[in-house]
Structure 1
Amino acid sequence: MDFTELKKQWLAEEQASFKGWDFSHIRGRWMDEQLPWDYEQLLRRYLSCEHQLLDMGTGGGEFLLSLNHPYSQCSVTEGYEPNVQLCKERLEPLGITVRKIENPLHIPYPDASFDLVINRHEAYDFKEVYRILKPGGTFITQQVGGKNDDDLVAKLGCVKELPDPKTFDLQNAMHYALQASFNVELGYEAFTPIEFYDVGAFVYFAHIIEWEFGGFQVESHFDQLCTLAQELAEHGCIRGSEHRYLLVLKK
């Protein structure tokens, strides 16, 4: 195995561009989120054409646009500055309201603004989401659990940068939702496989998910990547496990 040539490829993957929340660069080179629920199908059960909809942490608006909801009734929040600018360029001309969020404890929209708030993998505060929902409104969130990618993180020898990963699970989320006066309609939790079919795809992923793979760089973790290349040669993939949970809450 020519690790010198592989290192050049891995360094190139580390520098590959990333916009919005779009992993098309590694399409066909990995598998993730083989979940027992369908986030989009679920939220469509709660979404009506007349609803005011907020997508928290919209990335570049890719998922929101796929819903084909009336643009004038769509709003988004985004905190990552490059994505904020992307949303202003892509979404505002369509009539979608874009607001930058600095702190999940303050969502920059008035009380009782939305019939449905959706949130996939974005930070939130239950009380603040409750505030911006209309009476009878729904909050649907799919979140990354605290045990997500633990095995892959260990293989690289990295350290997660979450404040306390042990508290990120369905049981704790339901507890805090009830404290915020929500009614729990649905709650799901799952551990499912994630697979990478070349080491470069994993490098691209780990470089982006920097809050899980703290301090990761090809140069500093080259030996671990070589070990992963050998694992790939033996087993046909690099495999880890994902932790997800989902809540449907009513105000």
Structure 2
Amino acid sequence: MNYIKLKEYWIREEQHSFKGWDFSYIDDRTSEEALPWDYDKIVRKYLKPNSKLLDMGTGGGEYLLTLNHPYYNTFATEAYPPNFQLCKNTLKPLGIDIRQVFDDSYLPFEDEMFHIIINRHEAFDISEVYRILKPNGVFITQQVGGLNNKELSRFLLSEFKEDISSDHTLKSNVELLKNKGFAILKSHEHFPKLKFFDVGALVYFAKIIQWEFPNFSVKSCFKQLCDLQQLVEKQGFIESTEHRFVIVAQKLEGRN
């Protein structure tokens, strides 16, 4: 095994460009267990042609555009500068209102503005979601739970520290929504398996998902990567456990 060449290869993967929220570069080198629910079907069930729609954390707007919702009734937020610039180039010319938002506790929209708010893998402040959602409006969120890839993070990062994100679970979020004045229409939690068929794909992934792999680099994690290389050669893959949950909640009238 030539670790010098492997290191050079992993560094190239570490430096590979990434834009939007598109992981197609490693699609053929990873395998992700399907979720027992379909986020897209859930969204389409509640989305009506006359709905005023907000997509929180739209990424590059890739999913939002598949909905083909009337552009004049479509709004989106995004914080990450490269993604926001991409949205300005692709969504704004269509008439979609895209706004850059860094502070979850302040969303630049009027009170009771939206019939439906969708959120896939984006942080949220439930007070703001409640404020801008119309009475009887629907909030649909699929979240990456706090236990996502934790075992792999612990293995890769010698100084990995647990944080409060571990409390980000279905149970805690359902309680949060109920206390705010939402009725829970649907909720489900799952721990799917994610497989990497080569270490380079993991390097690319870990460099992007910085909040799960803080301070990751090929140089600092080289020994661990070599151990994972041996695992790939032995069993053909590296396996990690993800954490997902989905909630559909309806804002009740006459609450806080």
Shared topology, TM-score over 0.5? yes
In the TM superposition, residue 165 of structure 1 has moved relative to its aligned partner by 2.1
8 A Cα contact 2:154 2:160, kept in partner: no
Distance between the aligned counterparts of 2:33 and 2:73, measured in 1? 29
The runs of 5 or more residues in structure 2 that have no matched partner are 252-256
CA contact (8 A) 1:77 1:101 kept: yes
Tell me if the contact between 1:228 and 1:238 (Cα under 8 Å) persists in the aligned partners.
yes
Sort the Cα spacing of 1:38 and 1:131 in 2 relative to 1 into closer, same or farther, 3 A. Answer: same
Which position in structure 2 is the counterpart of 1:41?
41
Match of 1:232 in 2: 232
| Secondary structure class of the residue paired with 2:173 | helix
Deviation at 1:166, TM superposition (A): 2.6
The Cα shift of 1:159 comes to 5.6
1:43 Cα deviation after fit: 1.0
> CA RMSD, aligned part only?
1.3
Say which SS state the counterpart of residue 191 (structure 2) adopts: strand
Kept in 1, the 8 Å contact 2:60–2:83? The answer is yes
Q: Deviations over 1:76-119 (max 9, x none)?
A: 00011111111111110010001111211111111111111000
Q: TM-score, normalised by structure 1?
A: 0.97
**1:210 counterpart SS class:** coil
CA distance in 1, matches of 2:161, 2:99: 26
**Deviation of 1:32 (Å):** 2.4
Give the CA deviation at 1:239: 0.3
1:21 aligned residue: 21
Pair 1:176 & 2:176 matched: yes
Aligned length: 251
Q: Distance in 1 between matches of 2:73 and 2:98?
A: 12
- Contact kept, 8 Å, 2:187 with 2:245, in 1: the verdict is yes
SS of alignment partner, residue 189 of structure 1: strand
Q: 1:187-198 counterparts in 2 under 5 A?
A: 187-198=187-198
1:97 maps to: 97
Aligned-partner Cα distance in 2 for 1:241–1:234: 19
Query: What are the residue-to-residue correspondences of 1:70-219 with 2, within 5 Å?
Result: 70-157=70-157, 163-219=163-219
Q: Give secondary structure in 1 for the equivalent of 2:242.
A: strand
**Alpha carbons 1:161, 1:212 under 8 Å: kept:** no
Q: Distance in 2 between matches of 1:158 and 1:58?
A: 33
C-alpha change, 1:94 and 1:206, in structure 2 (3 Å) is: same
Aligned-partner Cα distance in 2 for 1:191–1:220 = 29
Aligned to 2:50: 50
Please, which runs of 5 or more residues in structure 1 have no aligned partner?
none
Separation (CA, whole Å) in 1 of partners of 2:192 and 2:160: 19
Give the AA of the match of 1:38.
D
Q: Using the alignment, how far apart are the partners of 1:158 and 1:94 within structure 2?
A: 47
